[in-house]
Amino acid sequence: MRISVFASQALLTGLGFAFTHPGLLHTGADFERVVAKVKANSEPWKTGWTILTSNSHASATYKASPQATVIRGTCDGCASENYSKLFNDAAAAYALALRWKISGDTSFADTGKSILDAWASTLKVINGTSDKFLASGIYGYQLANAAEVLRSYSGWPASNFNALSTMLVSVFYPMNHAFLVNHNGATIDHYWANWDLANIATMQAIGVLSDNQTMYNEAVNYFKTGAGNGALPKAIWKLYTESGSTKGLGQNQEAGRDQGHATLDFSLLGVIAQQSYNQGDDLFGYLSNRILAGSEYCAKYNVNKTVPYATYTNSDVTQTIISNASRGTVRPAWELLYAHYSSLKGLNASWTGKMRDYVVEQSGGAEGGGGNYGSTSGGFDQLGYGTLMYRLDA
Ligand SMILES: *[C@@H]1O[C@H](CO)[C@@H](O)[C@H](O)[C@H]1NC(C)=O
Ligand SMILES: *[C@@H]1O[C@H](CO)[C@@H](O)[C@H](O)[C@H]1NC(C)=O
Ligand SMILES: *[C@@H]1O[C@H](CO)[C@@H](O)[C@H](O)[C@H]1NC(C)=O
Ligand SMILES: *[C@@H]1O[C@H](CO)[C@@H](O)[C@H](O)[C@H]1NC(C)=O
Ligand SMILES: *[C@@H]1O[C@H](CO)[C@@H](O)[C@H](O)[C@H]1NC(C)=O
Ligand SMILES: *[C@@H]1O[C@H](CO)[C@@H](O)[C@H](O)[C@H]1NC(C)=O
């Protein structure tokens, strides 16, 4: 990691590395931009703000439901699932953190911190079937992002911030590490890419939140060279040149499975790349913009165009055609990718842009967040609100 230009805001660690704060999904400069857009009533940020403030998860009266044991995955002899408590509360903590940071109204920060305090003092175990490793991956980075925004709130004592950070380090990180090392005892190609990607995203986020360079590096190194399907060369494994153009397209590991999971991979890839970029590491650009090639491929298929496909084989399945199951899945994931590659870097992300526009249209004019896409887990797989938070002037 390079020392960031925001070094004056950064906390020096004992090793001499500096992390920028806030520096997970959003920087201080991002918040300045968003505040100005919302104050000016500019579209589409204004609609994004209205969607956020209308979501019940962003209400100052939201009540947390902390659990000592969170269960994801039902099986004979397992306790019943209750992980919806965690994903609703993580979405709420994040929505409230944004609402405070953008409006300046501390009532939202107070509710947000109370959610994080409640989980910090209560959660001890994440259990269930193998699906417990989805919970350790998908919800850890979400809580860490809420905390990363709220850490600058003067009404949240450092001891409470530290308790939340310690809980993430002691409950989530060991599961992230165990999964990336052992994959629940399975053969290395058994778990689909999203399982690794989620656990990478959370490990990386906890590393930044807790100023732990070793942990952050463990996540980034796995992303580059890990053995499982979430490592980038495996997650986007087959490259093509689009016919009639010079654009690269990259077939993703879950393309032959279904598009609900294929698109989830891009939600998570965006998170990992953004969290690194804000610390001075360019994973968006890694392997010649490999994530962009993958995003263009996945987006193109999901806006109903044809893409090339090569048979995918692992220890469990052989998939000879791309899967049309859940084609056109609406996930608030594409604003982040389009903003980075097209608006910031000037690269051609036209299919990602079409998918972004489709999701925005389906969402009422801007990407929503947890609670705007149904009550089941898929609608909480990503934090969302991307139109508000990532959209840049063209
Ligand atoms: C997790 O659940 C399994 C199966 O129900 C149980 O055997 C195990 O003791 C639980 N672990 C923890 C730490 O609660
Ligand atoms: C969540 O699961 C744990 C472990 O089975 C249980 O003690 C707790 O009551 C559950 N919570 C809810 C809200 O169901
Ligand atoms: C940082 O995380 C690593 C695991 O990646 C851990 O072994 C180490 O103790 C942590 N360092 C601190 C200062 O907490
Ligand atoms: C793709 O086709 C489906 C089914 O006809 C349709 O509902 C959807 O709007 C189309 N998507 C786009 C981006 O046009
Ligand atoms: C989806 O793919 C299956 C298998 O190739 C095919 O039979 C079906 O017609 C396709 N459905 C649509 C809506 O394209
Ligand atoms: C971007 O790529 C698409 C093909 O994916 C192509 O049709 C379009 O002309 C390109 N745009 C520019 C500005 O080069």
d(Cα 284, Cα 272) in Å, to the nearest integer? 9
Q: Is residue 14 in a domain?
A: no
Return the pLDDT at 14: 45
State the Cα torsion 223-224-229-233 to the nearest 10°.
140
Please indicate, yes or no, whether residues 94 and 36 belong to a single structural domain of this protein. no
d(Cα 370, Cα 376) in Å, to the nearest integer? 10
Query: What sections of 210-285 are H helices per DSSP?
Result: 213-225, 232-235, 259-277
Q: Supply 38's token pair.
A: 């919302």
Q: Is residue 2 in a domain?
A: no
Q: Is residue 7 in a domain?
A: no
Residues 6+ apart with CB under 8 A from 185: none
125 lines ligand 1 (CB under 6 A): yes
Please indicate, yes or no, whether residues 238 and 339 belong to a single structural domain of this protein. yes
CA of 34 from ligand 4 middle (Å) equals 31
321 lines ligand 5 (CB under 6 A): yes
d(Cα 390, Cα 386) in Å, to the nearest integer? 5
85 lines ligand 2 (CB under 6 A): yes
Please indicate, yes or no, whether residues 120 and 143 belong to a single structural domain of this protein. yes
304 lines ligand 4 (CB under 6 A): yes
Please indicate, yes or no, whether residues 49 and 139 belong to a single structural domain of this protein. no
Q: Whose CA is nearest to atom 11 of ligand 2?
A: 82
Ligand nearest to the backbone CA of 77: 1
Ligand nearest to the backbone CA of 320: 5
Please indicate, yes or no, whether residues 359 and 273 belong to a single structural domain of this protein. yes
d(Cα 318, Cα 311) in Å, to the nearest integer? 7
Q: What is the CA radius of gyration of the chain?
A: 20
Return the pLDDT at 204: 98
242 lines ligand 6 (CB under 6 A): yes
Q: Is residue 340 in a domain?
A: yes
Return the pLDDT at 115: 99
Backbone angles phi, psi at 333, to 5 degrees: -130, -10
Return the pLDDT at 78: 80
The domain tally of the chain equals 2
Q: Whose CA is nearest to atom 14 of ligand 2?
A: 82
d(Cα 145, Cα 163) in Å, to the nearest integer? 15
Cβ atoms of 135 and 83 within 8 Å: the answer is yes
- Taking alpha carbons only, the member of 348, 329, 328, 325 closest to residue 338 is 348
Cβ atoms of 99 and 52 within 8 Å: the answer is yes
Please indicate, yes or no, whether residues 367 and 290 belong to a single structural domain of this protein. yes
CA of 207 from ligand 3 middle (Å) equals 9
Angle between helices 193-209 and 173-182 (to 10 degrees): 140
214 lines ligand 3 (CB under 6 A): yes
Q: Where residue 143 sits, what CATH number does that domain have?
A: 1.50.10.100
67 lines ligand 2 (CB under 6 A): yes
61 burial (CB, 10 Å; 0-12 / 13-18 / 19+) is: exposed
Cβ atoms of 231 and 294 within 8 Å: the answer is no
d(Cα 171, Cα 234) in Å, to the nearest integer? 28
CA of 235 from ligand 4 middle (Å) equals 26
Q: Is the peptide bond before 44 cis (omega within 30 degrees of 0)?
A: yes
Cβ atoms of 335 and 267 within 8 Å: the answer is no
Please name the amino acid found at residue 225.
T
Please indicate, yes or no, whether residues 295 and 186 belong to a single structural domain of this protein. no
215 lines ligand 3 (CB under 6 A): yes
- Taking alpha carbons only, the member of 220, 197, 205 closest to residue 173 is 205
- Per DSSP, 10 falls in state P
> Domain range spanning residue 201?
59-228
Q: Whose CA is nearest to atom 8 of ligand 6?
A: 350
Return per-residue pLDDT of the chain as tens, 394 residues.
Answer: 444 444 433 444 444 468 999 999 999 999 999 999 999 999 999 999 999 999 999 999 999 999 999 999 987 778 899 999 999 999 999 999 999 999 999 999 999 999 999 999 999 999 999 999 999 999 999 999 999 999 999 999 999 999 999 999 999 999 999 999 999 999 999 999 999 999 999 999 999 999 999 999 999 999 999 999 999 999 999 999 999 999 999 999 999 999 999 999 999 999 999 999 999 999 999 999 999 999 999 999 999 999 999 999 999 999 999 999 999 999 999 999 999 999 999 999 999 999 999 999 999 999 999 999 999 999 999 999 999 999 999 8
Taken in order 6, 205, 359, 296, the sign of the CA dihedral is positive
Return the pLDDT at 17: 65
CA of 247 from ligand 6 middle (Å) equals 8
Number of H helices, E strands in the chain: 16, 8
Side-chain-facing half-sphere of 80: CA atoms under 13 Å? 1
Q: Is residue 200 in a domain?
A: yes
